[in-house]
Amino acid sequence: MVQVLPFGAEDLAHTRFAISPIGHLVHGMHNGPCSRSSPRRQRWWSTARRAVPVNGRSLVELVNLGCRSVPAFLLPSSPAEQPRFEPTLDDELDLLAATPLDRIRAELLPRSGAGGSLPRVAQELLDGQSRALRRMVQVVRDVFKSCMSDDWPDIRRRLHRDLNHRAHVMMVNGTGAVLQTLHPTITWESGHLLYTVPDQPPVGSTANQGFVLKPCAFGSSSIHPVTAPGHPPVLIYPCREDGADRLGRGGGDSLSVLLGAGRARALRAIDGGCSTAELARRLYVGPPTASAHAVVLRSAGLITTERDGQRVRHEVTLLGSGLLAANPGGNSMDS
């Protein structure tokens, strides 16, 4: 069934991209229809499942409780007032730990009537035990370390290649055109988003917040809208395959040719976020030189800078991330 969602200019203006480490762990463990039809996910899980620690079995059970879709609280998303393009694992674990127990109970209650006994962790969360949430956060950390930490750099590079393509489409044709590249079932026209999500209810309303668009390296056959009170709506879409492996290939370091060796090293060093002092340490230069690099990169739209108390923090923008993904050669820490 085709769902029709009002999606006007305000939504387009607030639509942004993000990458989720925990989201990939959860989708990799999920045995739903979309995951089962993904050869990439099947290959990963056939090996990763053997590395699940003993305490991680409860998380696998929780992820697959009801099986059709993942409990939404296990897909942490930054609040609209604190947007993060690429949160770290620790960032997402903090968001998960802050999830209201009322929300968790509301999402688990419909699954509790699916038949059979509930996993212990699910029952404890339904009972409102805060220690169960703390324990689950630690389990997520342990499972990620055991099952995904070695694979995450390669997955992350693939996601950045996808975002590099979307950024190009956005710069040339606008956000509306990007929406239509995410999946064959998505169409944006006349201020409405039309999409098909098998066996899922309509997403409802974005409340003029747009979507946080999240590419999924394990997806293949469907899109997944996720809504939660107090958070911007999320639309998870399959990471593209066509031409991805051709991006970034070629001799030499093209980024150094484009930006200059020093600024190319600085952009790579900022990837993942850092302060000016941290950037200076990573580059083995003085703070004034690091600050000068940051000023130029910020002026070019490749990084953003925000003040955090007495410090400033630099983050790579979508444009900067696309350049890094398309030019993986070189390493700021090795030069």
DSSP 13-68: HH-EE---HHHHHHHHH--SHHHHT-HHHHHHHHHHGGG--GGGHHHHHHHTSSSS
List the structure tokens of 290.
């690091």
Give the strand pairing for 231-238 and 224-228: antiparallel
Stretch (H or E) spanning 69: none
Angstrom distances, CA of residue 310 to CA of 156, 275, 313: 31, 11, 10
Give 167's contacts (C-beta < 8 A, 6+ positions apart): 318, 319, 321, 322
What residue ranges of the chain have pLDDT lower than 50? 242-251, 331-335
- Structural domains for the chain: 2-71+87-238 (no CATH), 248-326 (1.10.10.10)
Task: Return the amino acid letter for 219.
Answer: G
Position 280 scores a pLDDT of: 87
C-alpha span between 1 and 197 (Å, rounded): 7
Amino acid 184: pLDDT = 81
pLDDT score of 310: 80
pLDDT of residue 251: 42
Q: pLDDT digit string (tens) for 235-287?
A: 899 998 744 333 333 345 677 778 887 888 899 889 888 999 989 888 877 88
Rounded Cα gap, residues 276 and 94, in angstroms: 24
What pLDDT sits at residue 142?
Answer: 96
**Distant-in-sequence, close-in-space partners of 192: CB < 8 Å, separation ≥ 6:** 4, 5, 6, 7
- 3-class secondary structure, 66: coil
pLDDT computed for residue 229 by the predictor: 65
